[in-house]
Structure 1
Amino acid sequence: MTSAPIPVHVPLVTEPMGILASLQAARRNVLAIIPRIATMQPMVSGRTGKRWHMVMDPGAIRHMLLDRLDDYPKSLVTKNLLRPAIGESLFIAEGAHWRWQRRAAAPVFSHRNVMNLAPIMTAAAERSCARIAAAGPRAIDMAEDMVRTTFDVIADVTFSGDGTFDADEVHKGIDAYISEAGKVSLFDILGFPDWVPRPGRMVSGNAVRQMKSVADAAVEARRARGPDGVPDLLDLLLEGEDPETRRRMNTAELRDNLLTFIVAGHETTALTLGWALYLCAFDQQVQDRARAEAQALLQGRAATGEDMAKLPYIRMIIDEALRLYPPAAMVSRTAMADDTLCGREVKKGDTVIIPIYALHRNHLLWDDPDAFRPERFSDRKAIDRYAYLPFGDGPRICIGASFAIQEAVIVLATLLSRFRFTPVPGRRPDPVMILTLRPEGGVWLEAEPVG
Structure 2
Amino acid sequence: MSQTAPFVMPPHIEPHRKPLSLLQSLRAARRNVLEIIPAIAYTQPIVSGSMGSARWHMVQDPPALRRIYLDNADNYPKSEVMLRMLRPAIGNSLFTAAGADWRWQRRAVAPVFAHRNVTALAPVMTATAERASQRLNAAGPEVEMVGEMLSTTFDVICDVALSGREHFDATVYGDAILRYFETAGKASLLDFLRVPSWFPRPGELLGLGAVKTMHGMVAKAIEARRNQATGQADDLLDFMLKATDPDTGRTMSPKDLLHNMQFFIVAGHETTALALSWALQLLALSPDLQTRASAEARQALGAEPATLDHLDAMPLIRRILDESMRLYPPVGMLAREVIADDRLAGRDIAAGDVIFLPLYALHRHEMLWAEPNIFNPDRFLPDEAAARDRYAYLPFGAGPRVCVGANFAMMQAQIILATLLARFDFTPGPGPLPKPTMLMTVRPDTGITLKISPRR
Q: What's the TM-score bracket when you normalise by the shorter of the two chains? A: over 0.9
Shift of 1:230: 5.7
- 3-state DSSP class of the match of 1:225? coil
| Post-superposition offset of 1:106 | 1.0
Moved more, 27-36 or 206-215: 206-215
- Quick one: which amino acid aligns to residue 267 of structure 1? E
Alignment of 1:103-182 (within 5 A): 103-136=107-140, 138-161=141-164, 163=166, 170-182=173-185
Distance 2:295 2:451 in 1: 19
Conserved 8 A contact 2:88-2:204:
no
Code of the aligned partner of 2:241:
L
Q: Is 1:322 equivalent to 2:325 in the alignment? A: yes
1:448 aligns with 453
Report the alpha carbon displacement of residue 165 of structure 1 after superposing the two structures with TM. Answer: 5.5
Which amino acid in 1 is paired with 2:397?
Answer: G
Output the CA distance in 2 between the equivalents of 1:430 and 1:298.
Answer: 33
Q: Which amino acid aligns with 1:422?
A: T
CA RMSD of aligned residues (A): 2.4
Residue 338 of structure 2: which of 335, 338, 345 is its match?
Answer: 335
Equivalent pair of 1:75/1:334 in contact (CA under 8 Å): yes
Does the CA contact (< 8 Å) of 1:26 and 1:187 recur in 2? no
Taking the aligned partners of 2:231 and 2:100, their CA distance within structure 1 comes to 33
Q: Distance in 2 between matches of 1:406 and 1:244?
A: 33
1:102-123 CA deviation, whole Å, 9 max, x = no partner? 1111111011111222222222
Contact 1:151 1:266 (C-alpha < 8 Å) held by counterparts: yes
Out of 71, 80, 83, the residue aligned to residue 84 of structure 2 is 80
- Partner SS for 2:184: helix
Cα deviations by residue, 1:183-239 (Å, 9 ceiling, x for unpaired): x336578x44449x9653524323323432432332233234235866222122223
- The match for 1:297 is 300
| Contact 1:117–1:232 under 8 Å retained in 2 | no
Distance 1:199 1:123, change over 3 A: same
AA partner of residue 401 (structure 1): A
- How far the C-alpha of 1:279 sits from its partner, in A, is 0.7
1:427 corresponds to 2:432: yes
CA distance in 2, matches of 1:131, 1:228: 34
**CA separation in 2, counterparts of 1:16 and 1:223?**
54
- Preserved contact between residue 180 and residue 200 of structure 1 (Cα < 8 Å): yes
The more displaced of 169-178 and 263-272 is 169-178
Matched, 1:91 2:99: no
- Structure 2 CA distance for partners of 1:192 and 1:411, relative to 1, 3 Å: farther
* Displacement of 1:13: 1.0
Structure 1: distance between partners of 2:235 and 2:443: 29
Check the 8 A contact 1:226/1:235 in 2, yes or no.
Answer: no
What TM-score do the two structures reach when normalised by structure 1?
0.93
Change (3 A) 1:316 1:187: farther
Aligned partners of 1:20, 1:164: CA distance in 2, in Å?
A: 43
Aligned length: 448
CA–CA distance in structure 1, aligned partners of residues 232 and 127 of structure 2: 17
Deviation of residue 407 (structure 1)?
0.8
Is contact 2:8-2:375 (8 Å) kept? no
Task: Tell me if the contact between 1:43 and 1:55 (Cα under 8 Å) persists in the aligned partners.
Answer: yes
Q: Establish whether residue 242 from structure 1 lines up as the match of residue 245 from structure 2.
A: yes
Is residue 2:262 matched to residue 1:269? no
Partner of 1:396: 401
Structure 2 runs not aligned, ≥5 long: none
Cα deviation, residue 396, structure 1:
0.6
Specify whether residues 381 and 227 from structure 1 end up closer, same or farther in structure 2 by C-alpha distance, changes over 3 A only: farther
In structure 1, what is the Cα distance between the partners aligned to 2:188 and 2:368? 28
Quote the residue 1:286 is aligned against.
Answer: 289
| Deviation (angstroms), 1:162 | 6.2
The Cα of 1:363 is off from its aligned counterpart by 1.1
Match of 2:187 in 1: 185
> In the alignment, is residue 362 of structure 1 matched against residue 347 of structure 2?
no
Answer yes or no: is 1:205 the counterpart of 2:211.
Answer: no
Q: Answer yes or no: is 1:8 the counterpart of 2:11.
A: yes
Secondary structure of the structure 1 residue equivalent to 2:264: helix
**CA separation of 1:209/1:443 partners in 2, compared to 1, >3 Å: closer, same or farther?**
closer
Matched with 2:68 is 64
On the 8 A contact 2:26/2:187 being kept in 1, the answer is no
Letter in 2 for 1:6: M
Query: What are structure 1's unaligned runs of at least 5 residues?
Result: none
| Contact residue 108 and residue 240 of structure 1 kept, 8 A | no
Q: 1:419 to 1:165 in 2, by over 3 A?
A: closer
| Residues 1:384 and 2:383 are matched in the alignment | no
Aligned match of 1:26: 29
TM-score by length of 2: 0.92
- Pair 1:216–1:200, CA change in 2 (3 A): closer
Structure 1 residues 9 and 166, CA gap change in structure 2 (3 angstroms): closer
Aligned residue identity for 1:153: V
* One-letter amino acid of the structure 2 residue matched with residue 254 of structure 1: L
The verdict on how the C-alpha distance between 1:17 and 1:162 changes in structure 2, with shifts beyond 3 A counting, is closer
**Cα deviations across residues 323-367 of structure 1 (Å, max 9, x unaligned)?**
000011000001111111112111111110110000001111111
Q: In structure 2, what is the Cα distance between the partners aligned to 1:170 and 1:403? A: 22
SS in 1 for 2:203: coil
Q: Which amino acid aligns with 1:223?
A: R
Q: Deviations over 1:243-294 (max 9, x none)?
A: 4445332322122111100111111111100100011111112111111111
> CA distance change for structure 1 residues 168 and 244 in 2, over 3 Å: closer, same or farther?
farther
User: Matches of 1:300 and 1:240 in 2, distance apart?
Assistant: 41
Cα 1:365–1:93 change in 2 (3 A) is same
